[in-house]
Each structure stands twice: as C-alpha cells, then as structure tokens.
Amino acid sequence: MTTDGRDDGFVTKDSGRREEYPSGMRRDTQEGKPRYDLIDRAFLRRWAHLMARGAEKYGEENWRLAETEEELRRFKASALRHLMQWLDGEGDEDHAAAVAFNVAAAEMVKGKLKGKLNQPKRAGYGNVINIIYD
C-alpha cells in the first residue's frame, strides 16, 4: 500500500512454508530461491571493474546493443579465447572476469534472438544512459 492507502501493485510471494528463529521471527523459506549470497563477492568486484573499464573504452551499456548472430559469435569467440588464456595462466588481463562477461553477454544475445528478452530502448539523462525494457 502507498502512504495514501492505495495499492502499489506489488505482491509478497508466499511459498506457504515458514522458517522460525529462536527470537520468534518467522520468514518464508529460502528453498527454491536464488542464492546470491553464495556467489564470491571478490570475483563479482573483479567483474565490475572489468565492466567499468569497458564502459570507459566503449561507452556505458554498449554491449547491451548486441542482438545479432554475428555479435553472438563474437562474444562466444571472446569467451573461448579468454578461457584459454585463463587456463594457460596468462596474467596480462583479468581473463576470468572477461570469460564471465562474454558468457553473460552471449546469453543476453541468445535471449534476444529467441524473443525471450524485450529489445532495449535507450533513454539518456545527462551522462547516464538507462536501459528500459518494454
């Protein structure tokens, strides 16, 4: 509910099961929900730094413009090249983060090609570019 009592359109999902804590607090179970808390934060930080460097080099959100088979093949080729460099122990770049980026970008393009993701619209606000999906 909003502050004036109107429905804001959000719902609170409920599995019907509860976890109870010694303090008396009750919560819905975590079963079947994504566990982002299990992802290595140090690696995510490295990936975020790679993304920042890419934004400086190519422009923010540039990679999200990809939508063709050719661009999908390019992401796959880059992922494989960086994987081989990572496996070979090359330390000139953060090849592990580059693999993660290229796989994520390839999956985004695959989704667009399969029609599972809506095409982005670019809305600029000063120096910030937001991606808005229909």
pLDDT in tens, 91-126: 999 999 999 999 999 999 999 999 865 555 454 433
Q: Does residue 8 lie in a domain region?
A: no
Strands (E), 55-95: none
The residue range of the domain holding 122 is 40-133
pLDDT in tens, 8-35: 888 888 899 999 999 999 999 988 889 9
Q: Does residue 28 lie in a domain region?
A: no
Q: How many structural domains does the chain have?
A: 1
Q: Does residue 22 lie in a domain region?
A: no
Q: Does residue 48 lie in a domain region?
A: yes
Mean per-residue pLDDT of the chain: 87
pLDDT of residue 32: 87
Q: Does residue 33 lie in a domain region?
A: no
- Per the DSSP assignment, residues forming a β-bridge with 132 are 121
CB atoms inside a 10 Å sphere around CB 98: 21
For the segment 71-90, the average pLDDT, to the nearest whole number, is 98
Q: Does residue 46 lie in a domain region?
A: yes
Report the distance separating Cα 43 and Cα 20, nearest Å: 33
Q: Which amino acid is at 40?
A: D
